[in-house]
Structure 1
């Protein structure tokens, strides 16, 4: 297909922005921004706001009490006199500013590029996706042509389950025409059409302290209870159904010569369908409520939760539209299912047609080996811009 009008102008402008994109990405990666570092996450937000201001794009701040603020940037599009229909529903470009890394990580591992591969904390998950969204919004602000209002939603707490971002995301999704979540493209270049849901829990166990030599029989070991609960929780894993349970953090005890009065485990539970969640959560509650070591007590708190991303018929149509748009950007794109969770599950759950992992291609997220293929920045931006411009003809 030969691009004309706004499509030709937007894709041509994006083709000139490679170096500018990398400059924004370098600054962003070199800014601290772990989920619990509100100051750092909001500093990344300030960079987003500065960029939008330079391009004449208004930005609304939705304050976060404990975590990074949500930013909502808007670019007008479509027919402003229309009162109903898809023409006035928002086209949402979504991404999170927080990372999983501790404070000071950018100083230890600053942004670098070698042989076309960029590295640094959060370089693909998902600061490159934020930069992509920023430049797409700027392209439409500069050249027009959007078939409806564009909303760039930049949240601040996704890596811990979006405790404050979730209601903002869900409210936006309920009035969305479509949602593009710019998590990193898969190493294969694929986008994500389905994701697991996840529940993140902490279990606190109470026993009774006693001297392990002189008064052993008076003690009640919270660590003994913890050990048996871990075995029982792990036994719920069913790989054939995509169900995994991982006790990833444990702690407890007072001293080596004291029967442990306390213990803690943190559980990561991943699942595919809502029915799986209900079944396994019921079994976890049974394990928590049972005392394997008589006299112990336990309590569980859910610290965070993601919903699964499932592909509805409208989301499948959006995927097909994106694949066609990507092909005109020189990309061959397929869809994959991912075990990782993302905010796209929240948007899909409230009925918004959603596609995930449309950001630049990268891999090994959450590790020192995290990387980004910088050559994918512009083509992936062009692919999303084309998909947006063709929403009407795609029947979305």
Structure 2
């Protein structure tokens, strides 16, 4: 294929290169599935740093074999962040804002899961821990990067319109306590972000998400024998029960704000007035304003005295910003155009689940989420990925990246 290229290439001039890119990706289905199997069969629970890093090293081996530069951002406890770059070296200042392909390598499944329940498939449906959330999306992003590198190696296109960066974290499932800092540092001022969380079972991508926060509530009381000197005690469990009732009353389905105390513990025995109690609270919201208001309300509830001798405190464990639809509108329309050219239609969909898309969108970076292959039943033993969506979804992202104005 021979086409002249200049410093700035118009979309019309790039169209033949997009066709060449999609033609190459159409030949890669078998290798995509093989890579997915290897990645799924690599345990990578969020708290298994070695496993999450092993998954990253596997991805890096595919990319580096094609001449794509990779480097690591070290994390203290979580999996290190893998960065891969197309069209600009690590020591070269980018002339244009970069487009980021994002994903997380960690899963919710305990270490050792793959020994008894690894990758399997039934025709064009694949099963296994993390097969949809989000190892298929990681493979998709790797093949977008490899496809763009293929263009540079096998056509007279000497550079991409924008630098393209893969950014793969290791702790999203536990709130991105370390990965968020790399994301916020790297993605600031970016051209766009495509976050390859699983496509919805409806076939849609994700154009908006709720934000979410996790809290730990600690309640202290005074122990006493419940038969001999009950009056001398102050029940931490009793105090926690009153707090939970008020926390749950913050739920408002009309506004989309929900609260849920999903874990509680405390006490020593049924015949001892409990001296301590603990609860884990989940909060969901649609806007940043709701997040601020709800956090203030939670703090006020916990700080309010209720029982003599009982005190309580609350600690924010992690928080995701909401991914608001205003930050996906333009990018969604662009993606839809590429999808239509490939023969499928797609809409944007709102979901209550959180993702790292909340961080990038809250920084003002146009973001589209759920761009991975279609999946379902995430976080369960029945998690699945529809393999026949692998190639077209990879092509759609690749074209969207290459032809982004």
Q: Could you state the TM-score of these two structures normalised by the residue count of structure 1?
A: 0.94
SS of residue paired to 2:168: strand
Q: Find the counterpart in structure 1 of residue 403 from structure 2.
A: 390
Q: SS at 2:191's partner residue? A: strand
CA offset at residue 2 of structure 1? 12
Change in 2 beyond 3 A, CA 1:228/1:51: same
1:312 Cα deviation from its structure 2 partner = 3.1
State the partner residue of 1:208: 222
SS in 2 for 1:239: coil
Decide whether aligned partners of structure 1 residues 248 and 71 sit closer, same or farther in structure 2, where only a CA change above 3 A counts.
same
5 Å-filtered alignment, 1:133-148, equals 133-144=141-152, 146-148=160-162
Q: Provide Cα deviations, 1:229-262, integer angstroms capped at 9, x if missing partner.
A: 1111111100000011011111111122211111
Residues 146 and 388 in structure 1, CA contact (< 8 A), matched pair in contact too: no
Offset, 1:317: 1.4
Offset of 1:274 from its aligned partner? 1.5
1:115 equivalenced with 2:123 (yes/no)? yes
Q: Tell me what 2:362 maps to.
A: 349
Q: Write the distance in 2 (CA, Å) between the matches of 1:148 and 1:352.
A: 15
Is 2:372 the partner of 1:372? no
Match of 2:285 in 1: 271
Structure 1 residue runs of 5 or longer lacking an equivalent are none
Q: Which deviates further from its counterpart, 22-31 or 59-68?
A: 22-31
Please name the residue that 2:29 is paired with.
18
1:82 and 1:369, CA in 2 relative to 1: closer, same or farther beyond 3 A? closer
Task: Specify every segment of 5 or more residues in structure 2 that has no aligned partner in the other structure, as ranges.
Answer: 1-11, 153-158
Measure, in 1, the Cα distance between the counterparts of 2:44 and 2:54: 8
**Cα displacement (A) at 1:202:** 0.4
Runs ≥4 residues deviating over 4 A: 1-4, 81-84
Could you say what secondary structure the match of 1:176 adopts? coil
Task: Name the counterpart of 1:174.
Answer: 188
Which of 53, 57, 71 is the matching residue for 2:82?
71
Higher deviation after alignment, 335-344 or 274-283: 274-283
Q: 1:317-340, CA deviations, whole angstroms, 9 ceiling, x for partnerless residues?
A: 111010010112222100111111
Residue of structure 1 in register with 2:45 after alignment = 34
**Aligned counterpart for 2:135 among listed residues 127, 133, 142:** 127
- Provide the rounded CA distance (Å) in 1 between the counterparts of 2:292 and 2:20: 50
What residue in structure 1 maps to residue 3 of structure 2? Answer: none
Partner of residue 96, structure 1:
104
- Structure 1 vs Structure 2 CA RMSD: 2.0
Distance 1:134-1:82 versus aligned 2 partners, 3 A rule: closer
Distance 1:126 1:386 in 2: 21
SS of residue matched to 2:75: coil
Work out whether residues 14 and 403 of structure 2, in 8 Å CA contact, stay in contact via their aligned partners in 1. Answer: no
TM-score for both structures, normalised by structure 2: 0.92
- Structure 2 CA distance, aligned partners of 1:183 and 1:262? 39
Aligned partners of 2:44 and 2:105 also within 8 Å: yes
Distance in 2 (CA, whole Å) between partners of 1:43 and 1:291 is 49
**Would the aligned equivalents of 1:95 and 1:153 in 2 still touch at CA under 8 Å?**
yes
How far apart in 1 are the matches of 2:226 and 2:55? 51
Instruction: Map Cα deviations across residues 91-118 of structure 1 (whole Å, 9 max, x no partner).
Output: 1000000111112222232111113211
Is residue 94–residue 163 contact of structure 2 (8 Å, CA) maintained in 1?
A: no
The counterpart of 1:300, out of the listed 314, 322, 342, is 314
Deviation, structure 1 residue 11: 0.7
Give runs of aligned pairs for residues 217-228 of structure 1, distance below 5 A: 217-228=231-242
1:147–1:388 Cα contact (<8 Å) kept: no
CA offset at residue 347 of structure 1? Answer: 0.5
Q: Partner of 2:61 in structure 1?
A: 50
